[in-house]
Amino acid sequence: MRLFCSPTSPFARVAHIALREKGFEFELAMVDPWTDDPSLQQVNPATRVPALVLDDGTVLTESLLIVQWLERQCPAPPLFADAKVLQRAGLAIAVIEAAAQTIMGRRTVAPAPFDETAMGLRRRRAMVQSMQHLEQAVRQDCAGHIASGSSLDAITAVVAQDYLQLRFAGAPWLVPTPALDAWLVEARQRPSYIATAPH
Ligand SMILES: N[C@@H](CCC(=O)N[C@@H](CS)C(=O)NCC(=O)O)C(=O)O
């Protein structure tokens, strides 16, 4: 299999960590989706990462569809053992989506300050409030538990946190999340998280 990935894409990182956690063998094709890389365009007409080319040539796109296929192929360890995992993953994915849309918004209207437009502020509110809800959900449901590093909630939460740091480090609106940070300490030590850190 071959995973088309970029060094900074949070969506590609979710698929990349899940592939590693499931123990699949695959090659990495590092591309910049914004330069219309022909090899990416050939496999994914939307020219986006991630794209996963299976051994029979089938191409899977969309990070969460890739995750679903991986889960079907290899159910253990489970990426989503129960609905609470999906609830937390949903909050983290909302952060990833809002952050990525903010970065794309900057590209769309540059040099105007997208972040201060009604849409930019709406996306910022989504990042802030979803992180606050995730922090609260971890306090309620995971107190005293260590995150399972191969579970979708931990994968998406780490990807969301790291992407916020990559793109918005020092922003005054970033919220502290001490319970979430503590919950994720061990997951962050896993090779799949370390090897896929954005750079
Ligand atoms: N919904 C998609 C989003 C993928 C996506 O937006 N990837 C970005 C990189 S973070 C990309 O390749 N953008 C290029 C473009 O939109 O032209 C997923 O979950 O995989």
Domain that holds residue 27: 2-73
Q: Across-strand partners of 51?
A: 4, 61
Whether residue 18 is contained in a domain is answered as yes
Whether residue 78 is contained in a domain is answered as no
pLDDT along the chain (199 residues), means of 10: 97 98 97 93 94 97 97 95 97 98 86 85 96 97 92 98 98 97 97 96
SS3 assignment, position 7: coil
Looking at the fold, whether 89 and 182 belong to one and the same domain comes out as yes
Whose tokens are 């799949």? That residue is: 192
Looking at the fold, whether 51 and 97 belong to one and the same domain comes out as no
**Can you tell me the distance from the alpha carbon of 50 to that of 68, in angstroms, rounded to the nearest whole number?**
14
**Can you tell me the distance from the alpha carbon of 157 to that of 163, in angstroms, rounded to the nearest whole number?**
10
**CB of 101 closer than 6 angstroms to any ligand 1 atom:** no
Instruction: State the amino acid at position 25 in one-letter form.
Output: E
**CB of 124 closer than 6 angstroms to any ligand 1 atom:** no
Q: pLDDT tens digits for 74-119?
A: 999 999 999 999 999 999 999 999 999 999 998 887 667 899 899 9
DSSP letter string over 180-191?
A: HHHHTTTGGGSH
SS3 assignment, position 146: coil
139 in Cβ contact with 75 (< 8 Å): no
Ligand 1, residue 12: give the atom nearest the CA.
20
Whether residue 8 is contained in a domain is answered as yes
